[in-house]
Amino acid sequence: MILRLLNIQGITGIAAGITLSILLLVQKGETAHWKKQSAGFEQLYRQEQSAFATTVANTRAAAAQARAADQENAARVAAEQASINRRTKDDFEARIAAARTAAAWRLQLEPQAAADPGAGGDSSMPGLPPWRRKTCSRRLQRPTS
C-alpha cells in the first residue's frame, strides 16, 4: 500500500503538503512578529497623540495668558493716557488763565496810557506803557553781533 502511494503523484502531494505546512509555520511566526510590532507601533502612536494633545493644550493656555496680558496692558495704557490727557488739559487751562490774566492787566494799563500819552515816558521812548518800555529797552541794550 505504501508503494502505491510512492509514485510521482504521491511524492508530489507529500512534497506539496510539507511545503504548505512549512509555509503555514512561517506565516504563524510572521503573524506573531507583526502582532508584537503592531503593539509597539500602537504605543508610539498613543504617545504621539498624547504629546500632540499636550502641545495643543499648552498653546491654548499660552494664547489665553497672552490675551489676558494684552487686556491688562491695554487697560494700563488707557489709564496712563487718561492721566497724561488730564495733566495736559490742566496745564493748558493754567496757561490760558495766565494769558487771560496778563491780557486783562495789559488792558487795564493801556487805557491809562492812552489817556495820558506823555505820562511816565522816558526821553528815548515817550508815550509807551511801562511794560513796553522795559522790553523795548532790553532789546535796544543788547549788543548786536
Quick: pLDDT tens for 38-96.
Answer: 988 999 999 999 999 999 999 999 999 999 999 999 999 999 999 999 999 999 999 99
Run of H or E including 66: helix 8-115
Kindly report the number of other CB atoms within 10 A of residue 110's CB atom: 13
Neighbours of 113 (CB within 10 A): 19
d(CA 126, CA 111): 16
Question: What ranges make up the beta strands (E) of 1-145?
Answer: none
pLDDT tens per residue, range 112-143 = 665 555 555 445 556 666 666 666 555 555 55
- Cβ–Cβ contacts within 10 Å for residue 47, how many? 10
pTM score of the predicted model: 0.43
